Amino acid sequence: MAEDSEVREIAALLEDEYAHAILIYTSENAMSAPELSDACEASVSTIYRRIERLQEHELLDEQLQLDRDGHHYKTYTARLERIEIELREGKFEIEVTYRPADAADRFTDLFEGLR
């Protein structure tokens, strides 16, 4: 369990309208930063800043995708399943539960790591 400072950081992050929206959109489908930019009505740079903050707390996964032209781009998927915050003995404690990784995603990550 993480304590006070992480509780504050994650609470502030979830309060941020763009980070909040990114988690909601990517909980349903993997999305690229430009897709998230359109969905959230925010600049791509704003989206990338929120993606970085979400990844710092392991709340967002990143996958590499290939398009038909052979170019690659990243998509993002929410890892967050549940957050529990408790006040115990004068301190806040937070426990984050993550979604289990898809077996196909783990295989792709392993394969990409071998290249």
Quick check: 22 pLDDT over 80?
yes
Higher pLDDT, 42 or 94: 42
Q: Once rounded to an integer, what is the mean pLDDT over residues 44-65? A: 95
What pLDDT is attached to residue 99?
86
Domain membership of residue 43 as a residue range: 4-114
* Cα 77 to Cα 62: distance, rounded to the nearest angstrom: 7
Share of the chain above pLDDT 90, in %: 51
Q: What is the CATH number of the domain that holds 87?
A: 1.10.10.10
Q: Residue 92 in contact with residue 4, Cβ under 8 Å?
A: yes
Look at residue 94 in the predicted model and tell me its pLDDT.
Answer: 85
pLDDT bin (cut points 50, 70, 90) of residue 45 is: very high
Number of domains in the chain: 1
pTM of full prediction above 0.75: yes
Neighbour tally for 21: CB within 10 Å: 17
